[in-house]
Chains A and B, each alone.
Chain A
Amino acid sequence: MGPSGTAVVTGIGVIAPTGMGTDAHWQAVLAGKPGIGRISRFDPSGYPVRLAGEVPGFVAREALPGRLVPQTDRWTHLALWAARAALDDAGVDPAALPEYAMAVVTSSSSGGTEFGQHEMERLYRKGPSWVGAYQSIAWFYAATTGQISIRHGMRGPCGVLATEQAGGLDAIGQARRVLRDEAELVVTGGTDASLCPYGLTAQLATGRLSTVEDAARAYLPFDVDASGYVPGEGGAILVLRDAAAVPPGAGYGVVAGYAAGFDPPPGSDRPRVLRRTLERALADAGCAPSDVDVVFADGLAVPAEDLAEARAISEVFGPGGVPVTVPKTLTGRLYGGGSALDAATALLALREGVVPPTAGTSRLAPGCDLDLVTGAPRRSAPRTAVVLARGHGGFASALVLRAVRGRDADGRGTTGVTEER
């Protein structure tokens, strides 16, 4: 058990279509500035989906040590950059902490897809001897965790979870577990970068990507015109510390509750699990629904899925009973990085006392009885946020985050929201 058992997020590194760096991201989110545009990493004109959220201005050769660039896929490049940014933000010098008390737990959705496409092309065009030595360490799902661990000398219990878009929350939940068991610091979160021709083609197979060509209208969760989602790249890396190691009041927020569940198979008459998962996360946090000030929804923008999520939220909080927002309409869905970025955005919302809006969605679909925050940011001083995520195939996760000012001197989270900012 860690000294306090309470996990505080003390550092955030965002690398997303909304920008490189937490400030750029937060300003874009408040302003509703979209990061979605025509795919530039390859010519998308032959594909039915041509829009995506790409990270603007990231040049791996400039942002990372030269030797790491050819050894790793873009997904890992983005994570290495974000991990360094998060550690800097947390003001942590890993060399000053016990090596086995630092761990890395990341989410991966599809590994080094672009790297793998290049190497398979070499294999089939030229032959086996043309496949490079780094394929063995760049493509596999553990590459990011391994490289962060090596770069920062973190020798504690590392992990990698793959639960598609739910992975970011599952990584944070696991990071909290590791912190409670034995670690003092865990680098967690996730990224994804599957915007290569093979990666996009694989995503098309779900039939859930939007083919709308107007970037402002392509990804509209909970809207009457919801038409599927837009893919994106990037994500967020967080630094979690045990509260005992953090001065009172410092940090972005506390990981107060977490739960994960899995849907019954298609065709089952059993109810889906998002509602129960949300309730379990609230129970884990010692929260009543009325304590929650904002919900960051999964927002798939597939009508039946939107309806299912809206119903789960309404069943717990009452129709329109809690402000709901989906800032990821600016970035698209980032898969392994997606819910990590949602958690980062929620933590920024808690620190700044502002609920960021959902850009794009304007007319709620019938049955989606939500208080969806649209237009301007809502300055409602939220103290407790819930983040929901669903991963392809039935994964459902929920995370409860609480503002740090609610912590008492021992670093334990208080359950109420009595204290004013």
Chain B
Amino acid sequence: MRGDRAVVTGIGVVAPGAVGREPFWELLTAGRTATRRITCFDPSAFRSRIAAEVDFDPYAAGLTSQQVRRMDRAAQFAVVSTREAVADSGLELPAADPGRVAVSLGSAVGCTVGLEEEYRVLSDDGRHWLVDHTYGVPHLYGYMVPSTLAVEVAHEVAAEGPVALVSTGCTSGLDSIGHGARLIEEGTADVVVAGATDAPLSPITSACFDAIQATSPNNDDPEHASRPFDARRDGFVLGEGAAVLVLEAASAARARGARMYAEIAGFASRSNAFHMTGLKPDGREMAEAIDTALRRARRDPSAVDYVNAHGSGTRQNDRHETAAFKRSLGDRAYRVPVSSIKSMIGHSLGAIGSLEVAACALALRAQVVPPTANLRHRDAECDLDYVPLTAREHRMDTVLSVGSGFGGFQSAAVLTRAGT
């Protein structure tokens, strides 16, 4: 291992209520919510009829007719985010040696929308188990294999190094960045385009989360439905989007005079081996991930200046991670601001982990902590400083971002101001 750490030199975002990095940061710091009644299909037959949708015109975002036809919505988000991130980094691509450029893209559910839309046609709305293959579109296989998302990004940046789609459910977007940083640390790549995308808003997704009552049924007040850490929370609100980061070895970024948002100083993941959807209230495995990530970052818990929480807005999550923060950070847990941007942009499954890391990098740049929107009623079980409603100026060198997901996966990343 060369031991050179990965730094973030470019950020691209497609988020609910904000296409683009700066609109995203503006939304977060304004504490504005992007949750609303679902418009991309008729949600009236569902228990939860709300989501955080991206107002996205792929043509206005620069995609061509063939790209729009070929790419699932998740791929479109990924490619548009990638372009913004690369432009932001100032990197010249294709690189002199494309073999040193890698892609680590996360996605929890791949091309769900494309798969479901084509299923409807092939089965004639579910009438035929033996679906009619003559109605198959040329890109159908591309929808079935989520690796297509990474293929599109790799083509966009002319990557010839390792390219992978990382799919660990709702921690995919943290894990893909952890994996990308690892490729730089071990010397396999000089540049890694790392991030995640998900566009899960479709009837099958809503139906499957309805079935386990995981999503909020607060249909009468969608703008205030995503309420992490609030006593009245009643489930998460689905979202969609993508965030892509350009990661480079710190020495190379410094040598070319690149602007460095942050260093990916430490990453770790653990599994609870307990239940596919359930969490024990003690937060033990998440705490273990946090401890390990901090150790790798050579940071003491007392150095943590901000925690970007998973904060999905389910009671079991909020208790679980509050316990994990106390376990890992001790007294510091009570003194450090903790917030959840899912309160504003919903839970975009695998994508959200990368959106949250992007938010952390932007928070380090601005020295401002984004708030937890909709937090108006304190929950006795959640007794930390969750930065309710209003963004806060705050001095930060070291921030922690955590994720938790189906399958029992728990991940933690530590970002530091580059050069500290």
Most chain B C-beta atoms within 10 Å of own C-beta, residue among A125, A202, A206: A202
Q: How far is the CB of B38 from chain A (nearest CB, A)?
A: 12
Is the Cβ of B211 less than 8 Å from the Cβ of A146?
Answer: no
A141 CB-CB contact with B under 8 Å: yes
Shortest distance from the beta carbon of B47 to any chain A beta carbon, whole Å: 8
- B127 proximity list for chain A (CB < 8 A): 125
A199 to B98, CA, bound (A): 34
Q: Shortest beta-carbon distance, A170 to chain B, in Å?
A: 6
Option from A42, A111, A142 in Cβ contact (under 8 Å) with B406 = A142
Q: In the assembly, what is the distance between CA of A174 and CA of B167, in Å?
A: 13
A146 adjacent to B147 (CB under 8 Å): no
Q: Which of B164, B179, B269, B408 gathers the greatest number of chain A CB atoms within 10 Å?
A: B164
Q: A225 contacts the other chain (Cβ, under 8 Å)?
A: no
Identify the closest chain B residue to A117 (Cβ): B119
A16 to chain B, nearest CB (A): 20
Residue among A145, A157, A263 with the most chain B CB within 10 A? A157
How many residues on the B side are at the interface (Cβ–Cβ under 8 A)?
84
User: Taking the complex as formed, is A247 at the interface, i.e. its CB lies under 8 A from any CB of chain B?
Assistant: no
Residues of the B chain whose Cβ atoms lie less than 8 Å from the Cβ of A129: 207, 210-211
Q: A316 to nearest B CB, angstroms?
A: 16
List residues of chain A with CB within 8 A of the CB of B158. Answer: 264-265
A140 lies within 8 A of B169 (CB): yes
Interface residues of B in 205-255 (CB under 8 A from A): 206-212, 214
* Chain B residues near A167 (CB-CB < 8 A): 147
Of A7-15, A130-138, A322-330, A346-354, the one with at least 4 CB within 8 A of chain B:
A130-138
Report the separation of the CA atoms of residues A420 and B188 in the bound assembly, to the nearest whole angstrom: 34
Contact stretch, chosen from A216-224, A365-373, A388-396, A401-409:
A388-396
Within 8 A of A (CB), among B334-365: none
A210 in the interface, Cβ–Cβ < 8 Å? no
Closest Cβ–Cβ distance, residue B279 to chain A (whole Å)? 13
Taking a contact as CB atoms under 8 Å apart, the answer to whether B208 and A273 are in contact is: no
Chain A residues within 8 Å of chain B by Cβ, number:
88
Stretch of B129-137, B300-308, B320-328 with 4 or more beta carbons under 8 angstroms from chain A: B129-137
Q: A113-B144, A162-B147, A201-B131 are contacts. A136–B211 as well, Cβ < 8 Å?
A: yes
Whether B273 lies near A110 (C-beta < 8 A) is no
- The CA-CA distance from A161 to B147 in the complex, in Å, is 9
A128 within 8 A of B: yes
Residues of B within 8 A of A109 (CB): 145, 147
* Chain B 73-109 per-residue mask, 1 if CB under 8 angstroms from chain A, else 0: 0000000000000000000000000110001000011
A142 CB contact (under 8 Å) in B125, B138, B161, B169: B169
Q: CB distance A136 to B131 under 8 Å?
A: no
Question: Interface code A166-188, partner B: CB below 8 Å = 1, 0 otherwise?
Answer: 01001000100100001000000
- Residue of B47, B109, B141, B154 with most partner-chain A CB within 10 A: B141
Closest B residue by C-beta to A335: B145
Q: Does B8 contact A (CB under 8 A)?
A: no
Q: How far, in angstroms, from A162 to B74 measured CA to CA in the complex?
A: 15
Residues of B within 8 A of A392 (CB): 141, 145, 147
Q: Which B residues are in CB contact (< 8 Å) with A203?
A: 141, 144
- B311: interface (CB < 8 Å): no
Question: Is the CB of A108 closer than 8 A to any CB of chain B?
Answer: yes
Quick one: closest A residue to B269, CB to CB? Answer: A157
Beta-carbon nearest neighbor of A161 in chain B: B164
Residues of B within 8 A of A153 (CB): 273
User: In the complex, are the beta carbons of A154 and B131 less than 8 A apart?
Assistant: no
Complex Cα spacing A394 to B162, Å: 11
Verify if B148 is at the interface (C-beta below 8 Å from A). Answer: yes
A150 and B126 form a contact (CB under 8 A): no
Neighbour of B98 across the interface among A43, A99, A177, A264, CB < 8 A: A264
Contacts of B151 in A (CB 8 A): 393-395
A120 at interface by CB-CB < 8 Å: yes
Is A194 located at the chain interface by the 8 A CB criterion? yes
Chain B residue nearest to A157 in the complex (CB): B269
Report yes or no: A42 in contact with B129, Cβ–Cβ below 8 A. yes
Please tell me if the beta carbons of B270 and A110 are within 8 angstroms of each other in the complex.
no
Residues of A within 8 A of B212 (CB): 133, 136
Q: Write out the residue numbers on chain B whose beta carbons fall within 8 Å of the beta carbon of A141.
A: 108, 110, 146, 167
Q: Nearest Cβ in chain B — how far from A133, in angstroms?
A: 4
Kindly state whether residue B263 has any CB partner on chain A within 8 Å. Answer: no
B163 contact from A46, A103, A395, Cβ within 8 A: A395
Q: Is the CB of A110 within 8 A of B144?
A: yes
Apart from A120-B116, A154-B271, A157-B268, list 4 A-B contacts with CB within 8 A: A125-B126, A131-B211, A142-B407, A392-B141
Can you spell out 20 A-B residue pairs with CB atoms less than 8 angstroms apart? A46-B133, A104-B271, A110-B146, A116-B204, A121-B129, A133-B208, A136-B209, A141-B146, A145-B168, A147-B276, A150-B408, A155-B270, A158-B269, A160-B166, A198-B122, A203-B141, A260-B164, A262-B154, A264-B160, A394-B154
Closest 9 CB pairs of A and B: A146-B407, A124-B126, A393-B151, A131-B207, A141-B167, A135-B208, A202-B144, A205-B140, A260-B162
